[in-house]
Amino acid sequence: MTDSTAAGHPSVPHHEDRPVYVIGGGPGGLAAAAALRARGLRAVVLERAEHVGASWRRHYDRLHLHTTRRLSALPGLAMPRSFGRWVSRDNVVRYLEKYAEYHGLEIITGVEVSRVERAPDGSGWLLHATGGRELTGSAVVVATGYNHTPHLPDWPGRDSYAGELLHASAYRNAAPYAGRDVLVVGVGNTGAEIAVDLVEGGASRVRLAVRTAPHIVRRSTAGWAAQFTGILVRRLPVAVVDRLARPLAKISVPDLTAHGLPRPDTGLYSRVNEGSIPVQDVGLIDAVRKGRVEPVAAVESFEDGKVVLADGSRIGPEAVIAATGYTRGLDNLVGHLGVLDRRGRPVVHGGRTPMGARGLYFTGFTNPISGMFREMALDAEKIAKAIARGASGASRAAAARH
């Protein structure tokens, strides 16, 4: 639903009247807004696109959640059993739409927030948004998403490449690549799944450029989802999880070294802490073993219409799909507040606020092995609890002054 009056007021005279602004209408933002509403607090979601779940609408067609339906629901509404165990992209979008409707969330679409700063009176936050809007909120939840701004490396010679070059965010399905030679760059979950999709969709040749060998895990083994293990080990010491993961990997995942994809030489959980989530197998193992997906060295540059790889070889694919990740896109929004680390990520998330930025919260900027939807659901409750506690304290202070 849309509230045009909320978008129009330039200032709010009383702190108690200021809503909590939630920036982003994806799963993290909607969950936070619902949790706040459940505690009797007014939350206004500001979404730059025309619909909620915008990033999910843009994902490639075959995408499914790698976490189970039961453990991917947001606070206050289960996912329908009819969605199956592994929920499709389209059903995620349907769920988010239903979620917003079910909770009666106050959502303003087509509004992008460009900057967040302290309110002039020192109490609350001032948001600068499209159309010259200045919105004042008692607190702000930033939920603009992990996959905010596509990152395409500035490879030398990139602009001179005559073939088709696109970021994975622009890939929808394999139909345009049937009968073509395609190079997929990046062996995270997105790159691995797109490579398999291309093979199944009839691409004549599919190569997968790998800079660092990934950890590969089975999405489910004898009915036991990898997510369950991720939840169990979430709080264990990194070194312990690394040691436990090695023998499990040898049992469950074949050695693909002879096919150009060696086992990684670093621990699984150590890599997770560096931001590298294990690749959940949705067909990559079989495709590599059968030679249908060919791992090659990392891309170094483009030259004379060819792609130059790190091992010095040159290849001539007709299309290059860069599954090279995203940046958080938070620098202009909140970078001036000293709340980001050197990689542009929030220094805290969930129910904690950064030092010197009380009332500013972040959700959806981590990618834990226990499942992003699950963690956003937990974060939403923590954020709502913290904001409600702050609002209660402010009300008591105001009552004491009067």
Q: Quick check: 100 and 56 in contact, CB under 8 A?
A: no
Q: Quick check: 76 and 30 in contact, CB under 8 A?
A: no
Task: Kindly state the tokens that stand for 310.
Answer: 């790190």
Confidence (pLDDT) at 256: 95
Q: What is the DSSP string of 120-158?
A: TTSSSEEEEEGGGEEEEESEEEE---SS-EE-----TTG
Eight-state DSSP code of residue 109: E
Q: Using DSSP, state whether 393 is helix, strand or coil.
A: helix
Confidence (pLDDT) at 6: 37
Query: Between vectors from CA 240 to CA 239 and to CA 242, what angle results, nearest 5°?
Result: 65
* Longest CA–CA separation in the chain, Å: 77
Domains identified in the chain and CATH numbers: 4-148+328-401 (3.50.50.60), 151-322 (3.50.50.60)
The residue type of 203 is A
CB-based contacts of 194, cutoff 8 Å, min separation 6: 60, 168, 171, 184, 321, 323
Distance, in Å, from the CA atom of 196 to the CA atom of 287, rounded to the nearest integer, reads 7
φ, ψ for residue 161 (rounded to 5)? -70, 125
Q: Quick check: 43 and 32 in contact, CB under 8 A?
A: yes
How would you write the pLDDT of the chain (402 residues) with one tens digit per residue? 444 333 333 333 334 579 999 999 999 999 999 999 999 999 999 999 999 999 999 999 999 999 999 999 999 999 999 999 999 999 999 999 999 999 999 999 999 999 999 999 888 999 999 989 999 999 999 999 877 789 999 999 998 898 999 999 999 999 999 999 999 999 999 999 999 999 999 999 999 999 999 999 988 888 888 888 888 888 889 899 989 888 888 888 999 999 999 999 889 888 887 778 899 999 999 999 999 999 999 999 999 989 999 999 999 999 999 999 988 889 999 999 999 999 889 999 999 999 999 999 999 998 888 899 999 999 999 999 999 998 765 555 554 554
Question: Can you give the pTM of this predicted structure?
Answer: 0.88
Helices assigned H by DSSP within 264-335: 268-273, 284-289, 331-334
Q: Quick check: 45 and 39 in contact, CB under 8 A?
A: no
Confidence (pLDDT) at 1: 45
CB-based contacts of 188, cutoff 8 Å, min separation 6: 214, 276, 277, 279, 323, 325
Distance, in Å, from the CA atom of 183 to the CA atom of 185, rounded to the nearest integer, reads 6
